[in-house]
Copies of this chain bind each other. A is one copy, B any other.
Protein backbone atom coordinates (compact mmCIF):
# COMPACT_ATOMS: atom_id res chain seq x y z
CA UNK A 1 0.00 0.00 0.00
CA UNK A 2 1.18 3.45 -0.82
CA UNK A 3 0.29 5.53 2.23
CA UNK A 4 0.35 3.62 5.47
CA UNK A 5 1.23 4.24 9.06
CA UNK A 6 0.89 7.86 10.05
CA UNK A 7 -1.44 9.54 7.57
CA UNK A 8 -1.91 13.14 8.57
CA UNK A 9 -2.11 15.81 11.26
CA UNK A 10 -5.50 15.10 12.75
CA UNK A 11 -6.16 17.37 15.70
CA UNK A 12 -4.57 19.96 17.90
CA UNK A 13 -5.90 21.10 21.27
CA UNK A 14 -5.17 24.74 21.97
CA UNK A 15 -5.46 26.54 25.27
CA UNK A 16 -7.35 29.82 25.16
CA UNK A 17 -7.86 32.44 27.84
CA UNK A 18 -11.50 33.26 27.15
CA UNK A 19 -13.51 30.50 25.54
CA UNK A 20 -16.37 32.62 24.19
CA UNK A 21 -14.11 35.24 22.66
CA UNK A 22 -12.00 32.48 21.13
CA UNK A 23 -14.97 30.51 19.85
CA UNK A 24 -16.22 33.59 18.04
CA UNK A 25 -12.77 34.29 16.68
CA UNK A 26 -12.17 30.79 15.31
CA UNK A 27 -15.72 30.53 13.98
CA UNK A 28 -16.35 33.99 12.54
CA UNK A 29 -12.92 35.38 11.72
CA UNK A 30 -10.87 32.26 11.01
CA UNK A 31 -14.02 30.68 9.60
CA UNK A 32 -13.74 27.17 11.02
CA UNK A 33 -16.85 25.01 11.20
CA UNK A 34 -17.98 24.42 14.78
CA UNK A 35 -18.89 20.76 15.26
CA UNK A 36 -19.56 20.34 18.99
CA UNK A 37 -18.84 20.95 22.63
CA UNK A 38 -17.95 18.14 25.00
CA UNK A 39 -18.85 17.69 28.68
CA UNK A 40 -15.49 19.18 29.66
CA UNK A 41 -16.50 22.36 27.85
CA UNK A 42 -14.03 21.97 25.02
CA UNK A 43 -15.19 23.42 21.69
CA UNK A 44 -14.54 21.42 18.51
CA UNK A 45 -13.92 22.79 15.05
CA UNK A 46 -13.03 21.44 11.64
CA UNK A 47 -11.87 23.18 8.49
CA UNK A 48 -14.49 23.19 5.77
CA UNK A 49 -12.79 20.75 3.39
CA UNK A 50 -11.79 18.23 6.04
CA UNK A 51 -13.93 15.13 6.30
CA UNK A 52 -13.16 14.20 9.91
CA UNK A 53 -15.39 15.49 12.70
CA UNK A 54 -12.80 17.79 14.26
CA UNK A 55 -9.27 19.12 13.94
CA UNK A 56 -8.94 22.23 16.09
CA UNK A 57 -10.12 21.98 19.70
CA UNK A 58 -10.21 24.89 22.14
CA UNK A 59 -9.84 24.46 25.88
CA UNK A 60 -10.19 27.32 28.36
CA UNK A 61 -7.09 27.64 30.54
CA UNK A 62 -5.04 30.14 32.47
CA UNK A 63 -2.28 30.32 29.90
CA UNK A 64 -2.20 29.94 26.17
CA UNK A 65 -0.36 27.16 24.34
CA UNK A 66 -0.89 23.66 23.03
CA UNK A 67 -2.18 20.70 25.07
CA UNK A 68 -1.42 18.02 22.51
CA UNK A 69 -1.20 17.25 18.80
CA UNK A 70 -2.70 14.10 17.29
CA UNK A 71 -2.01 12.34 14.00
CA UNK A 72 -4.39 9.88 12.36
CA UNK A 73 -2.86 6.52 11.42
CA UNK A 74 -4.11 4.21 8.71
CA UNK A 75 -5.75 1.61 10.98
CA UNK A 76 -5.75 0.01 14.42
CA UNK A 77 -3.07 -2.47 13.47
CA UNK A 78 -0.80 0.44 12.69
CA UNK A 79 -1.67 1.98 16.05
CA UNK A 80 -0.73 -1.21 17.83
CA UNK A 81 2.47 -1.47 15.86
CA UNK A 82 3.50 2.06 16.80
CA UNK A 83 2.77 1.32 20.45
CA UNK A 84 5.11 -1.68 20.36
CA UNK A 85 7.80 0.26 18.56
CA UNK A 86 7.60 3.22 20.95
CA UNK A 87 7.80 0.92 23.98
CA UNK A 88 10.69 -0.95 22.43
CA UNK A 89 12.43 2.42 22.21
CA UNK A 90 11.81 2.99 25.88
CA UNK A 91 9.07 5.60 25.63
CA UNK A 92 6.19 5.49 28.05
CA UNK A 93 2.86 5.39 26.24
CA UNK A 94 -0.65 5.83 27.44
CA UNK A 95 -4.05 4.90 25.98
CA UNK A 96 -6.89 7.39 26.18
CA UNK A 97 -10.25 5.74 25.72
CA UNK A 98 -12.46 6.18 22.68
CA UNK A 99 -14.93 8.98 23.29
CA UNK A 100 -12.67 11.04 25.51
CA UNK A 101 -12.70 13.38 22.55
CA UNK A 102 -15.90 13.77 20.55
CA UNK A 103 -16.26 11.28 17.69
CA UNK A 104 -12.70 10.07 18.17
CA UNK A 105 -11.44 6.55 18.84
CA UNK A 106 -8.82 5.36 21.28
CA UNK A 107 -5.67 7.50 21.33
CA UNK A 108 -2.10 6.43 21.98
CA UNK A 109 -0.33 9.24 23.81
CA UNK A 110 3.33 9.80 24.60
CA UNK A 111 5.62 12.71 25.32
CA UNK A 112 8.14 13.83 22.74
CA UNK A 113 11.74 14.57 23.77
CA UNK A 114 10.84 18.21 23.08
CA UNK A 115 8.27 18.02 25.86
CA UNK A 116 5.12 17.97 23.72
CA UNK A 117 2.24 15.56 24.27
CA UNK A 118 1.76 13.70 21.02
CA UNK A 119 -1.00 11.30 20.02
CA UNK A 120 -1.78 8.70 17.40
CA UNK A 121 -5.27 7.39 16.72
CA UNK A 122 -6.96 5.30 14.07
CA UNK A 123 -10.59 6.41 14.26
CA UNK A 124 -12.46 9.67 13.97
CA UNK A 125 -15.94 9.91 12.51
CA UNK A 126 -16.19 11.14 8.94
CA UNK A 127 -18.74 13.91 8.76
CA UNK A 128 -17.78 15.05 5.28
CA UNK A 129 -17.21 18.52 3.91
CA UNK A 130 -20.88 19.32 3.39
CA UNK A 131 -20.75 18.85 -0.38
CA UNK A 132 -21.67 15.15 -0.45
CA UNK A 133 -19.99 12.27 -2.24
CA UNK A 134 -22.20 12.31 -5.34
CA UNK A 135 -21.74 15.06 -7.96
CA UNK A 136 -20.31 17.56 -5.48
CA UNK A 137 -19.74 21.21 -6.45
CA UNK A 138 -16.13 22.34 -5.92
CA UNK A 139 -17.01 24.44 -2.87
CA UNK A 140 -19.93 25.79 -0.89
CA UNK A 141 -20.95 28.54 1.52
CA UNK A 142 -18.53 27.41 4.26
CA UNK A 143 -15.62 28.11 1.90
CA UNK A 144 -16.36 31.86 2.12
CA UNK A 145 -17.33 32.30 5.77
CA UNK A 146 -14.40 34.12 7.33
CA UNK A 147 -10.89 33.16 6.32
CA UNK A 148 -12.13 29.60 5.71
CA UNK A 149 -8.98 27.49 5.52
CA UNK A 150 -9.17 24.11 3.81
CA UNK A 151 -7.50 22.01 6.47
CA UNK A 152 -5.31 21.91 9.57
CA UNK A 153 -2.06 21.59 7.69
CA UNK A 154 0.77 21.30 10.21
CA UNK A 155 2.14 22.87 13.36
CA UNK A 156 5.52 24.21 14.38
CA UNK A 157 6.58 23.34 17.92
CA UNK A 158 9.43 24.78 19.99
CA UNK A 159 11.33 22.74 22.55
CA UNK A 160 14.63 21.07 23.46
CA UNK A 161 16.11 17.86 22.05
CA UNK A 162 15.08 18.41 18.47
CA UNK A 163 17.60 15.83 17.29
CA UNK A 164 15.90 13.21 19.47
CA UNK A 165 12.56 14.22 18.01
CA UNK A 166 14.02 13.84 14.54
CA UNK A 167 15.27 10.35 15.29
CA UNK A 168 11.92 9.37 16.73
CA UNK A 169 9.90 10.70 13.83
CA UNK A 170 12.16 9.34 11.11
CA UNK A 171 13.11 6.00 12.68
CA UNK A 172 9.85 5.04 14.37
CA UNK A 173 6.99 7.07 12.94
CA UNK A 174 7.91 6.93 9.26
CA UNK A 175 8.44 10.64 8.70
CA UNK A 176 11.30 12.06 6.68
CA UNK A 177 13.26 15.30 6.71
CA UNK A 178 12.23 17.66 3.89
CA UNK A 179 14.00 20.87 4.86
CA UNK A 180 16.20 22.11 7.70
CA UNK A 181 17.70 25.35 8.93
CA UNK A 182 21.23 25.34 10.28
CA UNK A 183 22.76 27.39 13.06
CA UNK A 184 25.86 29.57 12.65
CA UNK A 185 29.10 28.17 11.26
CA UNK A 186 30.99 29.11 14.37
CA UNK A 187 28.58 26.94 16.35
CA UNK A 188 29.14 23.98 14.04
CA UNK A 189 25.91 24.43 12.06
CA UNK A 190 23.55 22.54 14.33
CA UNK A 191 20.02 21.94 13.01
CA UNK A 192 17.93 24.79 14.44
CA UNK A 193 14.76 23.78 12.67
CA UNK A 194 13.54 20.60 10.99
CA UNK A 195 10.56 20.16 8.68
CA UNK A 196 9.18 16.63 8.74
CA UNK A 197 6.70 15.01 6.37
CA UNK A 198 4.72 11.78 6.46
CA UNK A 199 3.11 12.54 3.09
CA UNK A 200 4.13 14.58 0.11
CA UNK A 201 3.49 17.84 1.87
CA UNK A 202 6.59 19.90 2.67
CA UNK A 203 5.81 19.48 6.36
CA UNK A 204 3.27 17.71 8.50
CA UNK A 205 5.09 18.85 11.62
CA UNK A 206 8.15 21.00 12.32
CA UNK A 207 10.37 21.62 15.34
CA UNK A 208 12.66 24.42 16.41
CA UNK A 209 15.33 23.96 19.08
CA UNK A 210 14.35 25.99 22.14
CA UNK A 211 15.26 25.69 25.82
CA UNK A 212 11.71 25.64 27.17
CA UNK A 213 9.81 22.40 26.51
CA UNK A 214 6.35 21.96 25.04
CA UNK A 215 5.90 25.34 23.38
CA UNK A 216 3.67 26.18 20.41
CA UNK A 217 5.01 28.43 17.67
CA UNK A 218 2.04 28.20 15.31
CA UNK A 219 -0.85 26.15 14.02
CA UNK A 220 -0.94 26.23 10.24
CA UNK A 221 -4.16 26.35 8.26
CA UNK A 222 -4.18 25.64 4.56
CA UNK A 223 -5.46 28.12 1.96
CA UNK A 224 -6.14 27.30 -1.69
CA UNK A 225 -4.20 30.09 -3.40
CA UNK A 226 -2.16 33.27 -3.04
CA UNK A 227 -5.34 35.25 -3.73
CA UNK A 228 -7.01 33.43 -0.83
CA UNK A 229 -4.04 34.36 1.34
CA UNK A 230 -4.69 37.97 0.36
CA UNK A 231 -8.37 37.54 1.23
CA UNK A 232 -7.27 36.22 4.64
CA UNK A 233 -5.10 39.30 5.10
CA UNK A 234 -8.02 41.56 4.24
CA UNK A 235 -10.23 39.80 6.78
CA UNK A 236 -7.49 40.15 9.38
CA UNK A 237 -7.33 43.87 8.68
CA UNK A 238 -11.12 44.22 8.88
CA UNK A 239 -11.09 42.46 12.26
CA UNK A 240 -7.93 44.12 13.63
CA UNK A 241 -6.27 40.74 14.04
CA UNK A 242 -2.70 41.15 15.22
CA UNK A 243 -0.38 40.08 12.38
CA UNK A 244 3.18 38.94 12.96
CA UNK A 245 4.46 38.56 9.37
CA UNK A 246 3.02 38.60 5.89
CA UNK A 247 1.57 38.18 3.46
CA UNK A 248 4.85 36.93 2.05
CA UNK A 249 6.57 33.81 0.75
CA UNK A 250 8.83 31.53 2.74
CA UNK A 251 12.08 30.45 1.18
CA UNK A 252 11.78 27.24 3.19
CA UNK A 253 8.98 25.17 1.61
CA UNK A 254 8.20 28.03 -0.85
CA UNK A 255 4.95 28.48 1.09
CA UNK A 256 2.82 31.64 0.85
CA UNK A 257 2.01 32.80 4.32
CA UNK A 258 0.62 35.13 6.93
CA UNK A 259 1.35 34.67 10.65
CA UNK A 260 -1.10 36.19 13.10
CA UNK A 261 -2.17 35.80 16.72
CA UNK A 262 -5.47 34.62 18.09
CA UNK A 263 -7.01 36.59 21.01
CA UNK A 264 -5.05 34.47 23.51
CA UNK A 265 -1.73 35.09 21.81
CA UNK A 266 -1.46 31.72 20.05
CA UNK A 267 0.09 32.20 16.62
CA UNK A 268 -1.62 30.73 13.59
CA UNK A 269 -0.64 30.68 9.94
CA UNK A 270 -2.69 30.89 6.78
CA UNK A 271 -0.59 29.01 4.29
CA UNK A 272 -0.78 28.23 0.57
CA UNK A 273 1.57 27.11 -2.17
CA UNK A 274 4.78 25.21 -1.58
CA UNK A 275 5.86 22.11 -3.47
CA UNK A 276 5.19 18.39 -3.14
CA UNK A 277 8.25 16.38 -2.16
CA UNK A 278 8.59 12.60 -2.49
CA UNK A 279 10.36 10.22 -0.09
CA UNK A 280 13.37 9.78 -2.36
CA UNK A 281 14.07 13.51 -2.51
CA UNK A 282 17.08 14.73 -0.57
CA UNK A 283 16.36 17.42 2.00
CA UNK A 284 16.94 21.10 1.35
CA UNK A 285 19.25 22.99 3.73
CA UNK A 286 19.09 26.65 4.71
CA UNK A 287 22.30 28.05 6.11
CA UNK A 288 22.25 30.51 8.97
CA UNK A 289 23.34 33.48 6.86
CA UNK A 290 20.36 32.94 4.53
CA UNK A 291 17.91 32.16 7.31
CA UNK A 292 16.21 35.54 6.77
CA UNK A 293 15.35 34.58 3.18
CA UNK A 294 14.26 31.15 4.39
CA UNK A 295 11.76 32.84 6.68
CA UNK A 296 10.71 35.76 4.49
CA UNK A 297 12.03 35.20 1.00
CA UNK A 298 11.37 38.65 -0.53
CA UNK A 299 12.78 40.75 2.29
CA UNK A 300 15.24 38.42 3.97
CA UNK A 301 14.24 39.98 7.28
CA UNK A 302 14.80 38.12 10.54
CA UNK A 303 11.63 39.13 12.32
CA UNK A 304 12.37 39.14 16.03
CA UNK A 305 8.82 38.44 17.13
CA UNK A 306 8.73 35.38 14.90
CA UNK A 307 11.89 34.01 16.42
CA UNK A 308 11.12 34.69 20.02
CA UNK A 309 7.39 34.69 20.75
CA UNK A 310 5.82 31.30 21.52
CA UNK A 311 2.98 30.09 23.76
A-side interface residues toward B, CB under 8 Å?
Answer: 1-8, 49, 51, 72, 74, 126, 133-139, 144, 150, 174-176, 197-200, 224-227, 230, 233-234, 236-238, 240, 243, 246-249, 251, 254, 256, 258, 273, 275, 278-287, 290, 293-294, 297-301
Contact = CB atoms under 8 A, between A and B. Distances in A.
Contact of A237 (B230, B284, B297): B297
Contact of A300 (B240, B256, B299): B240
Among A135, A251, A254, A298, find the residue whose CB has the most chain B CB atoms closer than 10 A: A298
A133 B277 CA distance: 13
Contacts of A294: 135
Contacts of A150: 275
A298 B243 contact: yes
A161 to B, nearest CB: 22
A237 B275 CA distance: 18
A299 B243 contact: yes
Contacts of A136: 251, 284
B175 A8 contact: no
B135 A286 contact: yes
A127 to B, nearest CB: 12
A256 B237 CA distance: 14
A237 B6 contact: no
A270 to B, nearest CB: 11
Contacts of A135: 251, 285-287, 290, 293-294
A138 B174 contact: no
Contacts of A230: 226, 249, 256
A174 B286 CA distance: 35
A72 to B, nearest CB: 7
B225 A134 contact: no
A184 to B, nearest CB: 15
Given A2-B4, A134-B284, 6 more contacts: A2-B5, A134-B286, A226-B227, A233-B297, A234-B297, A237-B300
Contacts of A254: 138
A224 B249 CA distance: 14
A4 B7 contact: no
A96 B51 CA distance: 43
Closest 10 CB pairs of A and B: A233-B298, A2-B198, A1-B174, A135-B290, A237-B297, A237-B298, A243-B299, A2-B174, A138-B254, A227-B227
Nearest to A6: B2
A299 B74 CA distance: 38
Nearest to A227: B227
A282 B247 contact: no
